[in-house]
Structure 1
């Protein structure tokens, strides 16, 4: 134990006494360094706890931010424009495709503004031989019915896609184009 010497009589007292045992004089106040360190240690441990809590909160936030980013980058469904472009590329791999006795599908294009264009060739006819009135009278209703009912075209109906059918003659000269807009097939 620490000792405190009385300044009045010189008697050595134990540090925990307030008055001298020899003369009763008030002893000088003894400062215990350990006592002073304890509040500092408590404050330091409180600061450490705050740092740990803030660190944990930042870690949780970073985890959720990373999780959201991964979901957006890797697991988001592809955009419809990308789906249309890929579908056009798949069809183009098999082109040209003979559709009937008069026409052949040459290519498919995914266009801006949610449009898909089918390019056909009337392989036995020239522009002069094509009767546009007859084409409009018979082809447009047939095309419109196909767009309205064909199960393979449902995805385009659901996304309100404009489907364009373009026809060229056997020499590559433009003959006729028919656009099926969403208001026509819904």
Structure 2
């Protein structure tokens, strides 16, 4: 945009204060008008940018809140599906020798956030098993494993009931040991 000299009608750059031909002072009003137009455009652009940023911030915040609430308040069927997937994954390696006397036959995801390990005691019959001895020595170590094993963290976090079911070498049911969430709820992960 050019500014005309009011004295000689020569076109000058709009940034010039004096005419390049006659040296006459150019009208400041036009420069001020163009400066105010530029400032007005900048202000409008800043307002649009601010509105765009505010809208974008709101959308991003909404998406983050949506995904956080979905992950914190997942429906129970999602946890049930995760338990089924975990059981299926473990069952790929079953039966699995745990020690010289115990075999993990399989795992099962049961309703109500329950996960079950099914063991077979391969050297003993039900008549040979002393339940009091099992309760005294085996149960505390199983509970400690649930409370401290990093691989059990997701079970603890989701308050899963864990059932350990044992059969003798003939496949006869011997005992269950059920660990409920309140038995490990004081663990800080």
CA deviation after TM superposition for structure 1 residue 164, in Å:
0.2
In structure 1, C-alpha distance between the alignment counterparts of 2:181 and 2:100, rounded to whole Å = 29
Which residue of structure 1 aligns with residue 139 of structure 2?
Answer: 140
Q: What stretches of structure 1 of length at least 5 have no aligned partner?
A: 1-67
Deviations 1:45-75 (A, max 9, x none): xxxxxxxxxxxxxxxxxxxxxxx9xx99xx9
Question: Post-superposition shift, 1:113?
Answer: 0.6
CA distance in 2, matches of 1:181, 1:139: 17
Q: Distance in 1 between matches of 2:151 and 2:141?
A: 16
State the SS of the aligned residue for 2:92. helix
Which SS does the other structure have where 2:135 is aligned? helix
SS at match of 1:124: coil
Q: 2:163 and 2:140 mapped to 1: Cα distance?
A: 14
**Alpha-carbon displacement from aligned partner over 1:21-51 (angstroms, at most 9, x marks no partner):** xxxxxxxxxxxxxxxxxxxxxxxxxxxxxxx
Unmatched tracts of structure 2, length 5 or more: 1-62
The Cα shift of 1:157 comes to 0.3
Task: Give TM-score scaled by structure 2 length.
Answer: 0.58
- 2:167 maps to 168
- Is it true that 1:107 corresponds to 2:94 in the alignment? no
Cα RMSD after superposing both structures: 2.2
Corresponding residue for 2:20?
none
TM-aligned CA deviation for residue 166 of structure 1: 0.3
Aligned counterparts of 2:140 and 2:167: Cα–Cα separation in 1: 19
Which runs of structure 2 are paired with 1:35-184 in the superposition (5 Å)?
79-184=78-183
SS class of match (2:175): strand
- For 2:79 and 2:111, how far apart are their aligned partners in 1? 11
> How far off its partner does 1:109 sit?
0.3
* Corresponding residue pairs, total: 116
Q: What do residues 90-128 of structure 1 show as CA deviations (whole Å, max 9, x unaligned)? A: 111110000011100000000001000000000000000
SS of residue paired to 1:160: coil
SS of aligned partner of 1:79: helix
Query: 1:136: how far off?
Result: 0.4
- Secondary structure of the corresponding residue to residue 140 of structure 1: helix
Matched residues in 2 for 1:185 and 1:170: separation?
A: 31
Shift of 1:185: 1.1
Distance 2:143 2:119 in 1: 16
